[in-house]
Structures are given as C-alpha cells and as structure tokens.
Amino acid sequence: MARYLVAERGVRDLVLVSRRGLEAPGAVELAGELRGLGAAVRVLACDVSDRGAVRGLVDSLVADGGLLAVVHAAGVGDNGLVGALSPERLEGVLGPKADAECG
C-alpha cells in the first residue's frame, strides 16, 4: 500500500506505523525505497490496539502539521479466497483489523 501511495498516487509525506516501528522486518528497507521514490518517510512504533497510544500518536501527528488521511492495513495473509476461508482462518486474517480500537 505504501509503495502504491508513493509511486502511483504521488504521496510525498508518509508515516508508517507498526508495533515494532523500525525494528519490524523490512521496515528500514521499505522506508529507504520510498525515500528513493521522493517521499519523506517516518517509521514509528505504536500498538493500535492501545487506545491511549493511538490517541498520543494522532495528537503528535496533528501537532507536527496535520494529518490528512489514515490507511489501516493491518492483517495477516492467508492463501485462499475470503469465501473459502474457515471461520478460524477468517478470524486470523481480519482479527488485527477488527480488534484495533480507534479513539
């Protein structure tokens, strides 16, 4: 999604958030790739299931000059069409999205 936003949609200021921030596998490489495409990229750590942490993150981004959009793309991949997933597999795929709190 980040590559698409930068390369195809022209986004030039991007904040990538995950529980582990720069320590997440591939985060440093992805940030470097996006910077190479002309984007200013910050990689931050935040657990989106923690309402207070999300509120603090959003407040800090707004204080830094604004927040125009949020793309919540958490999820776990699974090999199969949604209609073919068992309830357990579907919960594994969509659980991270459904369990995250916004506030």
Is pLDDT above 80 for 100? no
pLDDT of residue 97: 59
pLDDT of residue 76: 62
Residue 7: what residue type? A
Is pLDDT above 50 for 102? no
Q: How far apart are CA 82 and CA 89, in angstroms?
A: 9
Please give the share of the chain, as a percent, with pLDDT higher than 90: 53
pTM to 2 decimals? 0.71
Structure-block tokens of residue 44? 């931050």
pLDDT of residue 35: 97
